[in-house]
Amino acid sequence: MDYRESVLKSEEKTVFLLRSLYQSFGYRQYKMSKFEEYDLYAGNKDFLISDNIITFTDTNGRLMALKPDVTLSIVRNTKDTDGSVSKVFYDENVYRIPKGSHAYKEILQAGLECIGEIDNYCLGEVLYLASASLAAISQGYLLNISHLGIISGLLNDMALSPEQSQAALRLIGEKNMHELKRLCEAAGCSAADITRLIRVVSTNGAPEDVLPVLAECGCDAEAVRQLEELCRILRSAGEADHIVIDFSVVNDMSYYNGIVFRGYIEGVPNGILSGGQYDKLLRKMGRKARAVGFAVYLDFLERFYEQEPDLDADVVLLYTPETDQEILFRAVRQLTAEGLRVTAQKELPKKLRYGRVMRINPEGVLETC
Amino acid sequence: MLNVALPKGRLGEKVYDMFEKAGYECPSIREKNRKLLFTNEEKGICYFWVKPSDVAIYVERGAADIGVAGKDILLEYEPEVYELLDLDIGKCMMAVAAPNDYIDRPQRTLRVATKFERIAADYYASIGRDIDIIHLNGSIELAPLLGLSDVIVDIVETGSTLKANNLSVVERIVDISARFIANKASYEFKKNEISRVTEALAKQL
């Protein structure tokens, strides 16, 4: 059946665009059931955005959860294979309490995961697809990229305790340089180390401006090389103007490592895309493979799209109890065949937004009122 | 155009003075009228006053690109914003206070009255103390006087309210001051404007 594009909500159109984008790079669609065993999430609560999960007891007594996340389920259901990479994408509803809210919400989320022998090509491909996902939504987009290897290298050099490192990471995420400085001073770090850390994490911008600073500051050479190579791949894909290196993109270091990134769309107040390498999650789950992926939070876009149809129907077709039903039905079909949206009513509905009103006379002739 | 959420009250006026000194003046803001938005097109800035505890919400949700909020609010609500500067004004502290004759009994659950549930919970979790939080919206000092709670967790500025009610600070939790915050997406797309404001404010510190 043919359908007019306008019947699709903007979020639905975006889902279709993303699906075809991911399929064109050989990603297979992953479908999951609405429920998973609660244990899967309970064991990895810190990996989840919110640790509030809707649970219920299944008929066989097992504690089940309405899925708050897709990645954990994908990781559990893919097998380690030698040499190859399992590439899947999804668009699924998840259930969780969004940050700053107190009630559960159904959230439409799309994304992809690459699990297996991840190399720089895979990372580049995923970063490109993240960038292209944002481009599918709007031309005003930015992809912020960070490398946790660089940050952890700097923090390790300063010999901070795990708690201090955790606090430092949170402050880096807030771009809160004044408190980061105080924290490092209180921890007894040297002035030179503090200056170096602040210089690196407060530098943000285009790769060509940031990469030389990283080299000058003597950051982890391998991580810097990797970042350089990935930026080259993105530049060759025409994404240069949309890439920002920004170390305030920080994900939990007990799950994530290496490249992490966040995507923004102009006009949407929150980051709508989030992703990174999460080899450490796989280690926790006893797996050998490496992994990278991202999610696009489509619920944030609800208020972004403006081109929603301004009318509920093009034509209100008024009829009377005496109107021959068959003639009426034929008239409605005739109008819909012309591509009009028609609502047949005996009375004009009060809150309907419509184009024009027509009447049908007993002979089946349509008259515009 | 940058939208700026300013906290209503004395602190907000001091903050506006800093913006004015930084070159982002908007004379209409000083006029006594019922206007809610104050724009200086030439400087590309639009100010509005909101309840101090709401500034972070306006900024987090992008209605304001930047704003000034107390560290207490940032710690309590943990909004998704960047904290770009400590403006070093509106200084006070978050503290535990109790009646002058208070003796702590660690074997008992401590009853804590506060408006700042998260700050209190995080502080006592960090020292491994079991507490019962009593959320109050105002007149927190009254709670220990009437036996509603053992201690309070609240903002202490001069300490005069505590003193007048025979209460005193038993533990300082964290220092509070006004912070310059920015919406994360605005920071990306209006980076130059926000950086200019940040630098101009930083010069006054």
A269 shares contact with chain B (CB less than 8 Å): yes
pLDDT score, position A288 = 87
The residue ranges of chain B whose pLDDT is under 70 are none
pTM above 0.90, yes or no: no
B61 shares contact with chain A (CB less than 8 Å): yes
pLDDT score, position B119 = 96
CB contact under 8 A, A178 and B85: yes
pLDDT score, position A253 = 80
Q: What is the dihedral of CA B108, B114, B120, B124, to 10 degrees?
A: -10
Tens digits of residue pLDDT in B79-113: 999 999 999 999 999 999 999 999 988 888 999 99
Cβ contact A48:A252 at 8 Å: no
The residue ranges of chain A whose pLDDT is under 70 are 1-8, 100, 306-309
For residue A78, count other CB atoms closer than 10 A to its CB.
20
Disruptive mutation site among A145, A170, A176 for chain B (greatest number of B CBs within 10 Å): A176
Of B77, B80, B82, the CB nearest to A270: B80
CB contact under 8 A, A244 and B186: no
Of A99, A178, A271, the CB nearest to B184: A271
B198 shares contact with chain A (CB less than 8 Å): no
Of A99, A175, A244, the CB nearest to B84: A175
Residues 6+ apart with CB under 8 A from B14: B89, B90
Using CB atoms within 10 Å of the CB of residue B75, give its burial: 0 to 12 exposed, 13 to 18 middle, 19+ buried.
middle
Distance CA B124, CA B5 (A): 32
Bridge partners, residue A358, by sequence: A317, A368
Residues of A in contact with B61 (CB under 8 A): 269
CB contact under 8 A, A264 and B189: yes
Residues 6+ apart with CB under 8 A from A34: A66, A67, A93
pLDDT score, position A366 = 82
pLDDT score, position B144 = 96
Of A99, A176, A265, the CB nearest to B83: A176
CB contact under 8 A, A266 and B189: yes
Q: State both tokens at B133.
A: 């939080």
- Closest-approach residue (CA) in chain B for A206: B188
A264 shares contact with chain B (CB less than 8 Å): yes
* Residues 149 through 178 of chain A touching chain B, CB cutoff 8 Å: 174-176, 178
Of B77, B82, B188, the CB nearest to A174: B82
Bridge partners, residue B172, by sequence: B95
Distance CA A260, CA A294 (A): 9
